[in-house]
Amino acid sequence: MHVPTVEGANIDAASQQGLAALERELRLLGESLGERTGDVVAGIKRRNAESGVALEPLVEDSFVRVGTVSTTAVARWMAGEGAEVAREVGRESWQIFGQLAAQRVVALDEVTKRCLRWRDAAEDMVRELVAEHGLCEEVSERACAMLQRSLDVTLVRMCQSFEAERKRAHEELGRRQEELAFMATHDALTGLPNRTLILDRIEQMLVRSRRNQTPVAALFVDIDNFKSINDTFGHGAGDQLLRAVAARLQGVVRDVDALGRLGGDEFVVVAEGMSLSAGPELIAERLLEALKQPFTLAGVERTRLTVTASVGIAMGDRSCAEELLRDADIAMYRAKWEGKNGYTLFETGMQDDIQSRMELEMDLREAQEGEEFFVVYQPTFDLRTMSPTGMEALLRWRHPRRGIVGPDEFIPLLEDTGLIVDVGGWVLRQACLQGAAWHQDGHEIGIAVNVSARQLDRDELVDEVATAIEHSGFRPDLLTLEVTETTLMSNAQATAERLRRIKQLGVRIAIDDFGTGYSSLAYLQRFPVDALKIDRAFISRLREDPDGETLIRTLVQLGKSLSIETLAEGIEQATDLSLLRQVSCDVGQGFLFARPLEVEICDAFLENWAVRTAAVDDLRVPLLA
């Protein structure tokens, strides 16, 4: 307990002699009390036990210590030691109180009660000692006053200590609450507002927009191919990239608008009023522009990552924030599927498209397991001799509910999901086996297989082609891989190298849909090309456009001058055919000759053809359409 200074005690000035006698007696009492400290503590313990409130053993020990220290302190004060010494001794009990308060292990009223019990126990002891030593009543009163004084000061100090602790805890709680509120509304990785906060912002914007008739828009930003970046460079690099992307986007978003992260690689910008005066497209363009410069990441220093994004925009009133965000999301999906690295404005009806596409995607994954894919073959003809030169393998899907689905409906999805790598590989193996089988039957016929960009992006393709040839025993010079112009241009260097290695296997390379892509002739020299498949569009144009003929003539001439075979696809009419023969196009393909045919019909077709050419030397077109 705290021990006040001697000046604090109100000593009544009696005679010098009386005072000396009093101090002697008080000293005796103090010394005796000091010796009986253990009994005082025992008295406290007894009182505590009677109260029925037991504290944890460690806390009880603390109180025993407080009782001991306080008794010692007040005893030394009575015994006439300097106030400083007594205070020094008392300080320890302070610290103990401070700890108990800080740890909040004992209720304030219990501490108070225990202080009072110390006073009672010490007072009992004082009276006992006064009687024992036959001391005067005044000494007894003085000693009790000193005890009471110690108690008073202690109680006040104790309350101060509790109060300081309460304040500290309160402040701490406030800080924690702020932290929690921030965490609940912000994304931990980028520090940007999260979905909750963004929805809140949109909700407010919608209210303002209704009141003031001002526009409001949400732009849903999704990084293209983020998953493959993550897979290639690891999650650490992925996180770094997300932070860098967030910073870039933040740099071009106006203060009045808001940027948030919805999770994963999805960001959103919400804008209203003036920001939209030039249209939301401008914001989308700024966002895409911000990503243009390549990113460099710590740990993958030598790699400069080029990142693009697809942006979906939803604008105008909605019944709630979620709806605006959902529409922006739908538009974003559309932007993805329209080729990525661009933006699309939401329109009603988009949702249904997305829905059926998603269903198709799920069905596609099952198709692979359910063996629902099969290959049909469309013959090509030598336009000079009118005899078949080869068969183009074309993929079909026998859908359990929809029936036969054409590749235009599902190849883009196979490409987006990467499933094309497996499925395309399967077509390649299948086609080689079929080619070998026809060869065995005596038909020396070529096989053409379409190869998509995703397949050509991988070095493994070279081995896959080699294995397909080896496994089937098909003659490599009878195999042609058809690659589109756009595929060639997407990663020109690496693609050229892979094609060169494939050519070393003896396989032929054809450029499919020639004339629709970059139409740059420079790459014809760069890539090892054997054939040009002139796009269908040029052939169908022949019928309406008088210039069409000149164009075909030019393309065929181009092929001749580079010693590259020319093949015209989509020949539907006899007039097309005669014109193509006239300009000396080498090979033709189209419904006029034959549609893509199932294997059994191809067998019959090849047999018939052989019989026919043996019987009559007649160059008539077999209409097998």
Cα 293 from chain centroid (whole Å) = 21
Min. distance of Cβ 534 from Ca ion in angstroms?
A: 9
Is 187 or 512 the residue whose CB approaches ligand C2E more closely? Answer: 512
Contacting residue, 265, 513, 576, 586, with Ca ion by CB under 5 A? 513
**Taking each helix axis from N to C terminus, what angle separates 235-252 and 226-233, rounded to the nearest 10 degrees?**
140
Q: Which of residues 473-512 bind Ca ion (CB under 5 A)?
A: 482, 512
Binding ligand C2E (rule: CB under 6 A), the pick from 457, 572, 599, 609 is: 572
Question: Which residue number, 399 or 536, has a Cβ lying nearer to ligand C2E?
Answer: 536
3-state SS class at 4: coil
Closest to ligand C2E by CB, 315 or 414: 414
Out of Ca ion, ligand C2E, none, what residue 456 binds, judged by CB under 5 to 8 A for its kind, is none
Residues in 584-603 at the binding interface with ligand C2E, rule: CB under 6 A: 589-591, 596
The nearest distance, CB 588 to ligand C2E, in angstroms, is 10
Tell me how long the chain is: 625
Which of the ranges 5-13, 270-278, 283-291, 564-572 carries the binding residues for ligand C2E, by CB under 6 A? 564-572
Q: Which residue's structure tokens are 């509790």?
A: 162
Nearest to 209 by CA among 159, 260, 273: 273
Q: How many residues of this chain interact with ligand C2E, rule: CB under 6 A?
A: 24
At closest approach, how far in Å is the CB of 448 from ligand C2E? Answer: 8
Of the pair 221, 391, the CB lying nearest Ca ion is at: 391
Considering only 203-211, 328-336, 402-410, 488-496, which stretch makes contact with ligand C2E by CB under 6 A? 402-410
Told to check if 452 binds ligand C2E by CB under 6 A, we report: yes
Distance separating alpha carbons of residues 342 and 331, to the nearest angstrom = 11
- Tell me how far apart the alpha carbons of residues 594 and 388 are, in angstroms, rounded to a whole number: 11
| Least spacing, CB of residue 506 vs ligand C2E, in Å | 21
Helix (H) or strand (E) holding 303: strand 300-305
Q: How far is the CB of 226 from ligand C2E (least distance, A)?
A: 24
Alpha carbon distance 6, 387 (integer Å): 128
Choose among 208, 211, 210, 181: nearest CA to 196: 181
List the one residue from 390, 424, 476, 559 that touches ligand C2E (CB under 6 A). Answer: 424
Stretch that binds ligand C2E, among 45-53, 81-89, 361-369, 570-578 (CB under 6 A): 570-578
Pairing verdict, β 587-588 and 373-382:
antiparallel
Give 510-577 as a 3 state SS string.
EEEEECCCCCCCHHHHHCCCCEEEECHHHHHHCCCCHHHHHHHHHHHHHHHHCCCEEEECCCCCHHHH
Minimum distance from residue 513 beta carbon to Ca ion (Å): 4
Task: Pick the piece of the chain touching ligand C2E (CB under 6 A) from 322-330, 406-414, 519-527, 580-588.
Answer: 406-414
What are the residues facing 223 on neighbouring strands? 309
Query: Is 394 one of the binding residues for ligand C2E (CB under 6 A)?
Result: yes
Question: Rounded to an integer, what distance in angstroms lies between the CA atom of residue 242 and that of residue 438?
Answer: 54
Burial of 528 (0-12, 13-18, 19+ CB in 10 A): middle
Member of 187, 329, 485, 512 binding ligand C2E (CB under 6 A): 512
3-state SS assignment for residue 355? helix
Site for ligand C2E in 12-51 (CB under 6 A): none
34: its two tokens: 């000091």
Q: Tell me whether residue 327 or residue 535 sits nearer to ligand C2E (CB atom).
A: 535
- The DSSP symbol for 624 reads B
Tokens of 166: 């309460």
- Contact residues for ligand C2E (CB under 6 A)? 378, 394-395, 406-408, 411, 424, 427, 450-452, 482, 512-513, 536, 569-572, 589-591, 596
Binding site for Ca ion (CB under 5 A): 450, 482, 512-513
